[in-house]
Amino acid sequence: MSLAPPLRDTRPFRRRPRRRAGARVPDRRFEAGEERAFVPDGGLVVAVVVLLGLGLVSIESATATRAPEAGLSPYTLGQLGGAAAGALLALAAMHVPLRLLVLAAPGLYLAGVVLLALVLATAPPVNGAQRWLPLPGGLVFQPAELAKFATVLLTAVYLARDHRMRAGPVRSAALTGCLAAVPAGLLVAQPDLGNAVLVPLLVGGLLFAAGMPLRFFGLGGTALGALVAWHVVTHPYAMARLRGFLDPFAVARGEGFQLVQSFVAFGRGSLTGVGIGMGRQPIEWLPEAHTDFILAVVAEELGVLGALAVLGAFAAITLAGFRIARRARDPLARLVATGMTLLLAVPGLVNGAVVTGLLPTKGLALPFMSYGRSGLLISFLAAGILAGIGRREAAPSPPPVRGAVRRRRLP
């Protein structure tokens, strides 16, 4: 056994520099130009997949012929094609830089307004409304979906350029109000009151995120409510929907029929549902079950638990979107992420309120679930932009070092 002392490290000692209190640790992951891994937000992806899967199953249940040899219904096949195209669109949108969205925003807004006017001029009425533009191959396109997306995007771009509202809140509110009023007025003329009201709500959400004083929301809300009340009083179809909402059982054979049948679907489903493909309401009683009232199909076949799963998926999208927006490093990314989140979350909230009788029937689709390829493509586009912002723009800043000793200056 050797008794020699252990070898000592004779290298000069380098004292680690002290950091000031509150200083942030530099993030060295990207100093050499390293890009972030291609990993979108997990909660957002899972929520979209859940909604899409439940929507496809519910569309098949609502439109199937009950003949095993018939295969999938044409509605389900069409929705599958739209989902495949939407997934490719979302992947492409994840790689689009925000500066390209800034350049494209005015053109998309102008295209949406022109298409809305073209619908009023040329589209044949369907169920008393002009909402769909015929395309070659028997396809149709709903310009309202593009108009909503473009209005939200252009509003976010404008507010990001003037995020400190140097022009004044009055001018910012007036300009964004004009951006919302043009498509909303064309939507009212279709008539499509649900989307016409939704556009100002989305713009108002962006104004709130940008820091608009609260007094302007009171004025804007009062004006919007007065316009909606005037429209309801002067248009018989809107008044009929209001009667069906206030007392659906009194007019259960007329204006309240759809809402009453939705209540029946929820009652038949109870907690766990009657089973996939075993629902009776969408086949025999519930009108337009595969579009606006698809949540009632889920409630009947999968019960209240299935409906809660849908609401939970929309809550996950909302939380993921606001988390991405909160962690964004610049005003443009933050406002665009907020706008895309509102574009997905607010229609889901309104649709759920309509199906359960908390709001009058408005004709708003449930994102990722209701049948309709126009809305499905726009929903995928919004989700792709949101995931792209989370992947590129939301690099988390490290927390400040606690307990750091403040460096003293030598005399």
pLDDT winner (highest mean) among 91-100, 212-221, 395-404? 91-100
The angle formed by the CA atoms of residues 133, 138 and 144, to the nearest 5 degrees, is 25
Q: Is the pLDDT of residue 257 over 50?
A: yes
DSSP-assigned letter for residue 4? P
- What's residue 194's pLDDT? 87
φ, ψ for residue 400, nearest 5 deg: -65, 150
Provide the phi-psi class of 109: left if phi over 0, else alpha when psi is between -120 and 50, else beta. Answer: alpha
Q: Is the pLDDT of residue 250 over 50?
A: yes
Give the range among 11-25, 212-226, 231-245, 261-275 with minimum mean pLDDT: 11-25
Look at the block and give the residue holding tokens 């400040």: 400
- What's residue 407's pLDDT? 45
Residues 6+ apart with CB under 8 A from 101: 153, 157, 336, 385
Question: How confident is residue 4, by pLDDT bands cut at 50, 70 and 90?
Answer: low
The angle formed by the CA atoms of residues 150, 152 and 153, to the nearest 5 degrees, is 65
Give the range among 11-20, 198-207, 250-259 with minimum mean pLDDT: 11-20
pLDDT averaged over the chain?
A: 82
Provide the phi-psi class of 403: left if phi over 0, else alpha when psi is between -120 and 50, else beta. Answer: left
Average pLDDT over residues 130-140: 81
User: At 291, which helix (H) or strand (E)?
Assistant: none
Dist CA 304 CA 266 (whole Å) = 7
- How many residues are recorded in the chain? 411
Structure tokens at 12: 């000069």
3-state secondary structure of 329: coil
User: At 137, which helix (H) or strand (E)?
Assistant: none
What pTM does this model have? 0.82
What would the pLDDT profile of 6-19 be if each residue is shown by its tens digit?
Answer: 555 455 545 555 55
Q: Is the pLDDT of residue 20 over 60?
A: no
Annotate 374-410 with three-state secondary structure: HHHHHHHHHHHHHHHHHHHCCCCCCCECCCCCCCCCC
Question: How confident is residue 61, by pLDDT bands cut at 50, 70 and 90?
Answer: confident
Give the range among 153-157, 336-340, 359-363, 369-373 with minimum mean pLDDT: 359-363
- Contact at 8 Å (CB) between 323 and 334? no
Show me where the domains of the chain are located: 46-95+235-394, 98-227
Structure tokens at 322: 């606001």
- What's residue 200's pLDDT? 92
Nearest CA to 245 out of 235, 233, 236, 258 is that of 258
- What's residue 315's pLDDT? 94
- What's residue 54's pLDDT? 94
Q: Is the pLDDT of residue 262 over 50?
A: yes
- What's residue 191's pLDDT? 85
- What's residue 29's pLDDT? 39
- Other beta carbons within 10 Å of 73: 18
What would the pLDDT profile of 312-337 be if each residue is shown by its tens digit?
Answer: 999 999 999 999 999 888 889 999 99
Give the range among 76-85, 97-106, 182-191, 242-251 with minimum mean pLDDT: 242-251
Q: Is the pLDDT of residue 137 over 80?
A: no
Q: In a 10 Å sphere around its CB, with 0-12 CB exposed, 13-18 middle and 19+ buried, how is residue 107 labelled?
A: exposed
Q: Is the pLDDT of residue 239 over 60?
A: yes
The angle formed by the CA atoms of residues 320, 323 and 324, to the nearest 5 degrees, is 85
- Contact at 8 Å (CB) between 273 and 299? yes
Give the CB-side neighbour count of residue 303, counting CA atoms within 13 A.
7
Q: Is the pLDDT of residue 379 over 70?
A: yes
- What's residue 151's pLDDT? 95
φ, ψ for residue 142, nearest 5 deg: -105, 100
